[in-house]
Amino acid sequence: MRMMMAVLFGVLFTLNASTADIVWACSSAGKNVHVGVITQVNAADRLFTITDAETGEAMVFLSEPTLVQPLNIGDRVAVSYEEQDGKMIAKRIT
């Protein structure tokens, strides 16, 4: 029983630490920057979606073909963007 509790504590501590790091990255990333995990990529329409690490919300970005083509679902990214006509236009993805 002790061993099971120690393993459970270790897993919970690890999950909590990694989540805290992601949230910290979002809060300190700066204006017009979102950090998250890619959940959808539509290269034909130049669109990709991330789940924002801080809010948990889906965010859709439009980008140049050269930026969206190398993206894969599950990639962790920081997206610098500008707002134009109510859309978020990705300018840099790291």
Q: Which domains does the chain have, with CATH numbers?
A: 2-93 (2.40.50.140)
Q: Give the per-residue pLDDT at 30.
A: 81
pLDDT in tens, 35-59: 999 999 999 999 999 999 989 999 9
Q: Which residues pair with 93 in a beta bridge?
A: 79
Walking along the chain (94 residues) 10 residues at a time, the average pLDDT comes out as 41 42 56 95 97 94 96 96 95 96
When computed from its CA atoms, the radius of gyration of the chain, rounded to whole angstroms, is 16
Q: What sign does the dihedral 55-60-63-68 (CA atoms) show?
A: positive
Q: For residues 34 and 51, give the distance between their C-alpha atoms in angstroms, rounded to a whole number.
A: 9
- Look up residue 86 and give its two tokens: 């109510």
Q: What SS3 class is residue 65?
A: helix
pLDDT confidence of residue 88:
96
